[in-house]
Structure formats: C-alpha cells, structure tokens
Chains A and B, each alone.
Chain A
C-alpha cells in the first residue's frame, strides 16, 4: 500500500534556558492512505510533539535536528513557513485536544467554519454559512440552522468538539491528526465522536492519525497502532496482530496494565519514565525492561520488519 506520510528517524530537541530536552529520539512511523493509525504512549512520550512537527508548529525553542517527514513524497521538515501554509488545512489538518479553547470566543461557530471553507474555495461568506449548516447537520448537530449563529461558550463540550471536527474536515484534507480529542469529553459522547471522525475521514478517504493515551479508544478508532515511549516508536503494526502478539517488552507490560486482572491491585510498570534531559546511549526502556541485555545499554534499537505489516524496535528481535 502507498504511504501517505512517512516519518523517518525524526529527532526533535527543545532548548529551554540552560537545559536541553531530547523529546524525540528517532521516530519512525508510516500511515498509508485510507488507514488509521493510533499513537499510544505515556504522558511526555512525545505523542503531541510528533503531531506538531508534522504540522510545522513546534513551539519556540524546539527544533528538528535530524530526520525526514515525507508527505506524499515531499519532505515537510525543510519547508518554509510560507510553504507550510499551503499544506496546513488543505492537505493535513488537526483536531485539538481542548475543543472549547480551540474555538475563538468572539466569533460564532458558523463564522469560524465558513472562514475556512471560503479560504479554500474562494466562495462568498453566505455560501460558507450554508456549507457550515450542511456540515454540522451531517454531523448530527441538533438544530444546526440556528446553532451556527451561537458562540462557543453557548455550546456544550461535545458540540464544540463536533464544530472543531467540522472545521478540520471542511477543507477536505488528505490527512487528519486527532490529538487526544476524547480526553476532554464524557465517556458516552466519546464513542460518538470517534465514530464521527472515523466515518467522515472514511468519506474523504483521508488518512487518520489518532493520538491517545487510552488503548481502548485506539482499539475502537484505528486499524493500526504505534507504541511510543520516550521519543522512540517501539512497535507499529496492525492493531489485532499487536494486541494478540505484542513483541516489544514495553508493549507487553503496557497491555498488561490495561487488562482487568484477577488480583485486586492494578498492574503497573516499575520504575520511572526516563529523564528527557539526558542523552541516553541505549534503549530508553532498558532500566525498566525485564529482558534487558548488555547491548540495550549501549545502542538504540533499530526498526526491524518482523512480519509483513508489523515492525518492532528491540534488540531481542535482531
């Protein structure tokens, strides 16, 4: 299958006053057309940084030091801001975590959707408003015709999330990045929102990247899964294969945490996530890994194809 986006050996570091943080230490990912990839990882593992570097919106001080982001064969990491403006929205679009904060409080939701629509199609504002009603209607927005005139604070969290999805998809992008979109909303609405994002991106035949720390959400939403830890992708593959036969030791223990165990205590991974300030030589999971070998402490594992559609980065499989 053709790769829509391919990230190769991406390194990102952040200079913050005197300190330097190594956020990404060689990320390898690929999303093919029409598929959906779920990125799962702990807090601070670099999930959001991956998304932001794809969008070219890394915060001040953060810098891509190495690696490539190939989108439809073109390297986005060396694009200028002006060039990125043609990619953002039109080709890659992103849905933000906190829906209410991602909407401008002084503009009506209809205005915000139609702004984007008009920006890409060059249509008039009134046509844009019609389109906004249409899109919101298609998303199961109750009373869309009158609700387009309301301001973000007049809507509930779930509705704001829908507006945000409408904004991200009205420009018919090729790739949609959803950054923890379910974390702010009620569990009952969660699955509705996931279904909505899935169905709309299917309709556009767009690739979907779904970032979450909740494996349950990813299982529901995605066809592929990538496991990120401390700026390294440990494993990527079809979701059923990875769940049935996890290869990386980290994936194994992570999945164990999600299992409903027979004992009263939840299982956990002993140890702490590594300090991002330090330049570690070996595998970042080595201090907590039960299969640790000598080579793990000196060399970062490389991505290796284990079976078709299932890659793993671990010294155990070399």
Chain B
C-alpha cells in the first residue's frame, strides 16, 4: 500500500512517455519500409512491372525473379513493389475524402442539434447498416471505372464514421464558454464550426487516420479482387491475388501469396499503430 502511494503521477507519465515509441515499434517496422518503397519505387533498379514476356511465364522464385513470374510472365516482385504506391495513394485519397465529407457533416449536426441532428444521425445509421464492401461496390458501379471514382466510393463509405466521431466531440463543446464568447463577438455559425469546433476535433480525427487507411486498403484490395477496383494491368495487390488464385491449386503459389503477404503486413501495421495511437489519445 505504501509503495503504491509513493508512485508520483510524474513517474507514471515518464514511463508512459518512454514507452510511446516502443509501443509503436512493431507497426512501424513494417510500415516505414512500405512507405519508403511507395515513395521511391521508380528509382529502384526493378524490372518493368507491366512488361509481358510469355517465354518466362510461371517461373518459381529465383535470383532473377525474386517472387517468380505470373501467368503472362510479369515479374511479381516488381509488381508487388509498384502496387504499394497505388494502394497507399488510394487509401490516402479515401481518408481525405472521408474526412472532408464526414467532419463538416458531424460538426453541423452536433452544433445545431435538434431536428437536423436527428435526421443526420438516422441517415448515418442507415448508411452504416449496409455491409461496407457491398456499399462500396454499389457506389463504385454507379460512379464508373476510374481510380478517382474508386477513392470517392470508398471515401463516402468511411465518412459516416468521421461524422459520428466529430459529432460526439462537438456536441459537448457547443455550450462551452468559448463558443458562447465566439458568438458574442458576432462570428457566424460557419466561422464557429470551421474555426473553433473542427480544430478541437482534430486530434481525434488524426488518430483515426491510420485505422481508416487500413480499412480502405482492405476495401481497395477486395474490390480489385472482385474486378471492380483498379483496372487489371496496373499493379495492385487485390487484382494480383485474383489473377494468381486460379493457379494455386496447380502448385503455383507465388503470384498470389506474395501480394497477399504485402497486403497483410500493411493492414496489420496500420491497425497496430492506430490501436496504439488510440490508446495514447484516450489516456
């Protein structure tokens, strides 16, 4: 009992601080190389990921082709590397679209309250009751086949999450003194929402970035696997898994397994980091 009393709050905080980096380490060890690959892949001495060479099709992993070659003789290693780029790019786009739709919506609902909030919240709940994959598919089919449309479709699907998050933060702030003070100085509701309320919600929003990035990469890969994502010749993990999938039973595992592993480590790293960030934010 005496020992417990002797521990000061400062000590606890110090320990927590020193462990911050350690807690993020497992996620970062996978994520940092992946981000570096995504950024600098064109400068690597890699084979052209889109070069078809039917002479060398179905080659197992070797020193010449680290991950082997696929059904039409494209180098799997180079394709896995290049796919990092497009998958990260789409996921960042998705998150940005989701935030820019969701955050203002949630802030407006939380700030004005009343019937507006009820309508928005029920609408969001209807939205969320659909399976996210199915919903993304529908929007993607309606919007058309391009990378931007794919990002918009997934962004719309993730946005209710941000709307709810921002609403829950804004709602108790609505009656604080500084919002009243901002009203007193004659600032309009729009100014109050964008200048005062959303900046207050930013820490929570940012801590959710990684999680929704993971979710959106998963959906991109999923949609591509179903043939609704990135058009086929472009290197993308989901579509690579799909093209290789039919050949796995014939013992040719490499065209599917390597992109699958890349996908797994990306999503795992992102969710690991988001989990740690979230617990740090709440503590």
Binding site for B on A (CB under 8 A): 55, 57, 59, 85-90, 93-94, 96-98, 101-107, 115-116, 119-120, 164, 167-168, 171
Contacts and interface: CB of A to CB of B under 8 A. Distances in A.
Nearest to B196: A104
B191 interface: yes
B186 A85 contact: yes
A171 B185 contact: yes
Contacts of B200: 104-106
Nearest to A170: B185
Nearest to B184: A94
Interface stretch (B101-109, B124-132, B175-183): B175-183
Nearest to B113: A60
Interface string B145-188: 00000000000000000000000000000011110111111111
Contacts of A102: 177-178, 180-181
Contacts of A101: 176-178
A111 B177 CA distance: 17
Contacts of B180: 57, 96, 102
A171 B196 contact: no
B197 to A, nearest CB: 9
28 contacts: A57-B183, A57-B184, A59-B175, A86-B186, A88-B183, A88-B184, A88-B185, A88-B186, A89-B185, A89-B186, A93-B185, A97-B177, A98-B177, A101-B176, A101-B177, A101-B178, A102-B178, A103-B178, A104-B200, A105-B200, A106-B202, A107-B195, A115-B195, A116-B187, A119-B185, A119-B186, A167-B181, A168-B184
Nearest to B183: A57
Contacts, number: 68
A94 B187 CA distance: 13
Q: Taking chain B's interface residues, is the majority helix, strand, or loop, or is none over half, making it mixed?
A: helix
Given A88-B184, A168-B185, A119 B199 contact: no
A142 B191 CA distance: 30
A94 B196 CA distance: 18
Contacts of B196: 104, 107
B170 to A, nearest CB: 13
A120 B180 CA distance: 18
Nearest to A92: B184
Given A102-B178, A104-B178, 11 more contacts: A57-B183, A57-B184, A88-B185, A97-B177, A101-B177, A104-B200, A105-B178, A107-B195, A107-B196, A107-B199, A168-B185
Interface residues on B, range: 10 to 19
Contact of B181 (A59, A90, A164): A164
Give the 6 A-B residue pairs with the shortest CB-CB distance, closest first. Answer: A89-B186, A101-B177, A89-B185, A88-B186, A102-B177, A102-B181
A88 B185 CA distance: 6
A174 B196 CA distance: 26
A246 to B, nearest CB: 33
Nearest to B202: A106
Contacts of B175: 59
B184 A93 contact: yes
Most interface-central of B181, B191, B199 (chain A CB within 10 A): B181
A88 to B, nearest CB: 4
A167 B200 CA distance: 20
Nearest to A55: B184
Contact of A119 (B176, B178, B187): B187
Interface in B189-204: 191, 195-196, 199-200, 202
A96 B199 contact: no
A202 to B, nearest CB: 21
Contacts of A96: 177, 180-181, 184
Contacts of B202: 106
A306 B184 CA distance: 36
